[in-house]
Structure 1
Amino acid sequence: MSMDIVILGLSITSSWGNGHATTYRGLVRELVRLGHRVTFLERDVPWYACARDLPEPPYGRTHLYVSLDDLRRRFAPLVRAADAVIVGSYVPDGVAVGEWVQMEARGVTAFYDIDTPVTLARLRAGDHAYLSPELIPGFDLYLSFTGGPTLDRLEREYGSPCARAFYCAFDPGAYHPDPTAATRWDLGYLGTYSIDRQPRVASMLIEPARAMPERRFTVAGPLYPGEVDWPANVERTEHVPPSAHRAFYTAQRFTLNVTRDDMIAAGYSPSVRLFEAAACGVPIISDAWDGLDTIFCPGEDILVANGTDDVRTYLTGVTDHERLAIAQRARERVMSGHTARHRALQLPELLSEATLRRVRDPA
């Protein structure tokens, strides 16, 4: 049965400095292909307005709003009429948006947390920029970027009536191998600067680059401070748009995954970059975290490193035959369960489960 779904998310029009846009694009596109009617509502903010790489998404409907008052005035009927209304993490004035949605919506409501470990760390610190503890029980469903024990915690400690894992996903049409690609770098990393990730970026890429001046490395992503001491053999790019991600990945012999501290602590938090790189047929070197082995098989389809020495060993000791076999196994794994279509098939089932739960257990 088709559904009318409204999503209030951080951004679908601009991927600058965030991983939300590509996740929303794939999900909305596949929901529409499955016959659902989807409207995406996005706050019009200057840092995305000047960097929109998909200003008019060709699937569903996308509307920009300039303020909370504008949102309430123009879109209240849409929210009231929807079968499901989903509020995403990092939405500006997210608490006020969530309160309004819970008051206006007649259908099932959900919070889609693409940043669950960060969100919970913020809640512990009393930071309620986009979600407050009081809002969580009011959402019928908590769609969590993180699985594992965090789901039980969301229900037990925060009162979510229904917390379910809803991992990020990738678009197979955009992320796939390119056998004609020329290798430019031995190891690359795609990610926005984060102060807690930077020590691992240093130990797993900068230090190997410094120790291996004959090798080529690259780091792409915004917001890196000027004081970072990049070796001469590390090429820096400020931003790679999603349309160029595949070319970026397939020009690497290996690609690096580095995880934020909060996500390592929570575990079970696969980055969308993991899925994208694997889909492109590029072998991944990753830091370690609980639950990684529920997504990949370490040593078989992903290489786990604890620092500089491990990375150097992989770069020098893994043969091309082994490297390509690792990449192929990873691609097969993500194709079997982590595409945007998998998530689009999963979402209506989770929304229906939450609806039935609400009918069965009214507040």
Structure 2
Amino acid sequence: MKIVMFYHSLASDWNHGNAHFLRGTVKELLKRGHDVQVYEPEGGWSLENLIKDHGEAKAAEYKEYYPMLKTLFYDSANPDYDTMLSGADLVIVHEWNEPELVAAIGRKKEEHGYKLLFHDTHHRAVSEVESMNRYDFTHYDGALVFGEVIKHIYKDKGWIDSVWTWHEAADADLFKPLDSEKEGDLIWIGNWGDNERTEELMEFLIKPVKELGLKSKVYGVRYPDEALQALQDAGIAYGGWLPNYKVPEVFAKYRVTVHVPRGPYVKWLPGIPTIRPFEAMACGIPLISSPWQDAENLFTPGADYLTAGNGEEMKLQLQRVLNDESIAQTLAENGRNTILEKHTCAHRVDELETIFKELGFKESLIHPKQYKTIQA
């Protein structure tokens, strides 16, 4: 099957949280014998910032970890849709695209004869409804959304008739436990963002680390001066941007990490954890989370990870994990096993192939002859 995908970036993960899942999913589709082409706009925001901050050589480094992936660029001012869409069986358009592109690919659907899906991995369905209303889904066969709550919103608002819940997941071939000498106690990887969790980061990360005197480090981008000052005051080292494919190597050097979801996900989108817990559990590092509602029972709280209702509870949970190796080991093993059982990119491609069938694809297209079973 020829699958054409339009995403913000395959090449860059600078402030681009979907890069992990996109890369892992494309890799799995390629393993199964599908012809996959991923297009991103020339001069895209994420890649341009990566190159500006770290240079061309660093921007190309991801190919060492994903040698099978190839990025295709198009001129967003004058896109050649006919060339890009020629021969496509399935087209997937990510929500981080301009409404004009979303509509244009829809209008080309009848001419080229492909099935067409929209992929939504953001909270705009509840936080920016007006911006969602700018999309023209007239010709779309369905939507892939990363949570049941968003699925119901799509149906209630009548945006697209057929909607499937398609959670993010871990590339378990790359994100796995690694042996490494420990360099510190706590690691946190995440972008500061747009003040969507400033208070939560102070309560569940910065203050507990400071009060417990933990040796800690934080990686991420878009940290304002006040955030950097808060880290410095707490004695937390700041590492800046960390390539996503380097996350397993860094996790292996620390003893615990925390999950601090953004406010919109806690408030409006129960059941959507974002990619970070998948990454941590896949890498076998004990995880402690600030409050979020696992409405879809993706994990088992208390077994796969610990929870903390406030900053004081976070301190207690951190002490438990850091002072009791048996607790840390059990959390690491349980989390990794849960990922391998149901939350790998291979699982999500299985789900996507089921959706292919519902869209009417023949079995020969879904399972090419060169397909081989991939063990996570």
Aligned counterpart, 1:220:
219
Pair 1:142 & 2:148 matched: no
CA distance in 2, matches of 1:95, 1:161: 19
Alpha carbons 1:170, 1:338 under 8 Å: kept: yes
Pair 1:67 & 2:81 matched: no
CA distance in 2, matches of 1:191, 1:308: 19
SS at match of 2:205: helix
Alpha carbons 2:125, 2:153 under 8 Å: kept: no
Give, in angstroms, the shift of residue 158 of structure 1: 3.0
Alpha carbons 2:8, 2:44 under 8 Å: kept: no
- What is the TM-score when the length of structure 2 is the normalising length? 0.85
State the one-letter code of the partner of 1:102: G
How many residues align structurally?
340
State the one-letter code of the partner of 2:89: D
Query: Within 5 Å, which residues of 2 pair with 1:130-279?
Result: 131-132=132-133, 135-136=136-137, 138-147=139-148, 149-178=149-178, 180-194=179-193, 195-213=195-213, 215-228=214-227, 229-230=230-231, 231-264=233-266, 265-279=268-282
Pair 1:86 & 2:92 matched: yes
SS at match of 2:226: coil
CA distance in 1, matches of 2:218, 2:124: 23
1:293–1:251 Cα change, 3 Å: farther
1:118–1:181 Cα change, 3 Å: farther
Alpha carbons 2:20, 2:244 under 8 Å: kept: yes
SS at match of 1:189: strand
Give, in angstroms, the shift of residue 336 of structure 1: 0.9
Aligned counterpart, 1:360:
none
Give, in angstroms, the shift of residue 76 of structure 1: 1.5
Aligned counterpart, 1:30:
28
Aligned partner (choices 76, 101, 110) of residue 117 of structure 2: 110
CA distance in 2, matches of 1:350, 1:298: 30
CA distance in 2, matches of 1:187, 1:139: 45
1:55–1:183 Cα change, 3 Å: closer
CA distance in 1, matches of 2:151, 2:114: 23
1:134–1:302 Cα change, 3 Å: same
CA distance in 1, matches of 2:311, 2:350: 41
Aligned counterpart, 1:98:
102
Alpha carbons 1:167, 1:270 under 8 Å: kept: no
- Identity %, equivalent residues: 24
Aligned partner (choices 297, 302, 313) of residue 299 of structure 1: 302
SS at match of 1:328: helix
Aligned counterpart, 2:9:
11
Aligned partner (choices 274, 282, 285) of residue 282 of structure 1: 285
Aligned counterpart, 1:359:
none
Aligned counterpart, 2:340:
335
Alpha carbons 1:8, 1:41 under 8 Å: kept: yes
CA distance in 2, matches of 1:24, 1:98: 18
Give, in angstroms, the shift of residue 18 of structure 1: 1.0
1:225–1:303 Cα change, 3 Å: same
Alpha carbons 1:80, 1:107 under 8 Å: kept: no
CA distance in 2, matches of 1:263, 1:292: 12
CA distance in 2, matches of 1:158, 1:220: 40
SS at match of 2:128: helix
State the one-letter code of the partner of 1:183: K
Structure 1 residue runs without a partner (length 5+): 357-363
Measured against aligned partners, the alpha-carbon deviations of 1:127-165 in whole angstroms (never above 9, x if no partner) come to: x2xx43552454211101122x33122112233211111
Alpha carbons 2:320, 2:327 under 8 Å: kept: no
Alpha carbons 1:137, 1:158 under 8 Å: kept: no
Give, in angstroms, the shift of residue 292 of structure 1: 5.4
State the one-letter code of the partner of 1:181: S
Measured against aligned partners, the alpha-carbon deviations of 1:266-295 in whole angstroms (never above 9, x if no partner) come to: 111122121111011111111222225611
CA distance in 1, matches of 2:352, 2:236: 41
User: Which stretch of the first structure deviates more once superposed, 44-53 or 333-342?
Assistant: 44-53
Alpha carbons 1:38, 1:60 under 8 Å: kept: no
CA distance in 1, matches of 2:101, 2:360: 21
Measured against aligned partners, the alpha-carbon deviations of 1:46-69 in whole angstroms (never above 9, x if no partner) come to: 641416245766336531113241
Aligned counterpart, 1:316:
319
State the one-letter code of the partner of 1:101: I
1:46–1:294 Cα change, 3 Å: closer
1:121–1:232 Cα change, 3 Å: closer
CA distance in 1, matches of 2:72, 2:62: 10
State the one-letter code of the partner of 2:100: A
Aligned counterpart, 1:76:
82
Measured against aligned partners, the alpha-carbon deviations of 1:181-212 in whole angstroms (never above 9, x if no partner) come to: 22223222111112111211111111112212
CA distance in 2, matches of 1:55, 1:285: 29
Pair 1:40 & 2:38 matched: yes
State the one-letter code of the partner of 2:7: G
